[in-house]
Structures are given as structure tokens and as C-alpha cells.
Amino acid sequence: MSQQQTVGFVGLGNMGGRMTRRLVDAGIAVIGYDARPGAAEAVGATPGANPADVARRAGVVLMSLPDSTVVEPVVRGPDGLLAGASAGSTLVDLSTASPESTVALHAEAAERGVHYLDAGVSGGAAAAEKGTLTIMAGGDAAVLAELSWVFEPIAARVHHMGAPGAGHTTKLLNNFLNGVALAATAEVMVAGRKAGLDLAQLLEVLNSSTGVNFATRERFPHIVRGDYLEGGLTGRLMTKDLALYVDLLGRLGVPSLNASGPLASFGLAENLGYGDQISNRVVDAIGDLAGGVRVHDKTEG
């Protein structure tokens, strides 16, 4: 296989693993690396020894990692992507990361003749599974356009948002609104349960009224039936994203007046032991404080 026909993928967790499987199923050869042994083989990829090895063997390398504290050593380390990447290759960071860090990595890659794109993704595990993610990218528009064959199996929409860092900035703004909607809807659903309302009917009302949001449309119709949609963004990662949003607004000089609510909600969830579970479990954390309320009738074993 030639380098041009091969994609590298570093970070094969909930999102990266699903995206890798989509690429493999589309007939694209993938060299994968994850800290967990066997992760590459599990999603149909050929394992790489380390990120540098992946970059040596693939002209395009995608990353899906928790945050900038992980992205930076993966890119910069002695066995990192820049150590193995050749001039003209492209690194695509699909993580939710600090735009400030991302801009610095763009510059370091450019010094070596390597293209770098920050390309936040949205849609969650379900969209990754179906190949219908939305990608919001920062960096060279021409480089982004050349990667349409890579994005086609994993994304329904690809938006060029502007200069380096613009993709990750857009992602943080989106994730903040996602966090607000999820935390606020969780609170409303617990209140609805305690008030004796039929929650399925309450959701029908909300979804045809001004309170409609992604959580009321896509999350809680499942949750009230006992399906928490496991496998998506954890509560701890949601808290991380919200903290990155607050940091971004501080650097922009914009007051973050609405961040305290979701930060408190997901901080509560983490303190009550839900941090490593899907962020939808924030409804259980709020329910715990409300007297052990659950918004579904399913008995959990």
C-alpha cells in the first residue's frame, strides 16, 4: 500500500475507534495506534508501534484524543507524530483541545513543512457510528479540500471555519451549548418526575415548544426509557470542555455568565461517582440530590 492511500489514526477510543471502523469499511487502509493493546486490531486497523511510526507510514494522520495535555506529547514527543511525519504530510486533530495550544502546534508543524488542521467533530458516538459527524476545521482551506476522500466516510458536513485554531474554537462554543442544554434539561426532567408529570408527554410538549434543544430531541426520549446511550462523551470530559470554554472566553475578554450552571451540574456528577460514565448520567446526579429520583421506570441491575 502506498503512503498516499493510507490513513493513520491515533486515539481509538469511543469516537476514534468508530471513525476508524468507518474508514476501514470504506476500503481505506488504516494504520492505528492507541495506548491500549489490541485497540487497533479491534477496529480493523493495522497496528503502529507508536505515533511516529504511524506518521512514517501514512501521509494523513487523524487524532482523536482527550485534550491538549495528551495531544501535545503525541505531536511533539520523541516518538510523536512530528518525529515521523515527512514534509507535505497532514496531521488532523479531531480532539476537543485548547485553541491556544492548537495554534502553537500549527506553527511547529509548518516549520517542518507539515500541514496541520484542527478539526473538531460533533454528533457524538451515534453520528460517528453512522458516518454523519459535523466537522469544523481551522487551517489551510486548500489542504482541507484535498482530504474530502478521508472525511467522506465519517462526516456528513465539513465546514472550514478560518485560520488555525478556528475549528477548535468553534468546537468549544458548540460544546458549551451542548452542556447547558443537557444539564438544564436534566434538571427539568427530574422536576417533572417529582411533579408527577408523564415525562414522554412532557418531552412532546417541549419538542414542539420554545424549550426544544438537542437534549430534549435526541437524548431524553431514550433516557426516559432507561437507555442512557452509553459510549458517548463522559461527564469528566464534559467538565473539561466547559473549563476550556471558560478559559477561551477569558482570553477573548467575554464574560462567561452562563457557565456556572453546567459546571456545577457536571462537577456534582463527578463528585457522586458518575465522572467516567456518559455525561447523560448528570440526570442521575441531580436526581440523587432530589431524593433518589430516576426519570425512567427501568430497574437497573
Report the catalytic residues: 171
* Cell numbers given for 14: 469511543
C-alpha distance across the termini of the chain, in Å: 48
Contacts of 142 (CB under 8 A, 6+ apart): none
Three-state SS string over 198-267 comes to CHHHHHHHHHCCCCCCHHHHHHHHHHCCCCCCCCCCEHHHHHHHHHHHHHHHHHHCCCCCCCHHHHHHHH
Strands (E), the chain: 6-10, 29-33, 46-47, 60-63, 90-93, 115-122, 133-138, 155-162
State whether residue 32 is helix, strand or coil.
strand
* Cell numbers given for 7: 490513513
State whether residue 8 is helix, strand or coil.
strand
Using only the alpha carbons of the chain, give its radius of gyration: 20
63/12 Cα distance (integer angstroms): 9
Residues 103-126 as b or e (16 or more Cβ within 10 Å = b)? bbbbeebeeeebbbbbbbbbbbbe
185/190 Cα distance (integer angstroms): 9
Q: Is 62 exposed, middle or buried (0-12, 13-18, 19+ CB in 10 A)?
A: buried
Q: Residue 115: what residue type?
A: H
Q: CA torsion angle for 8, 122, 145, 129 (degrees, to 10)?
A: 50
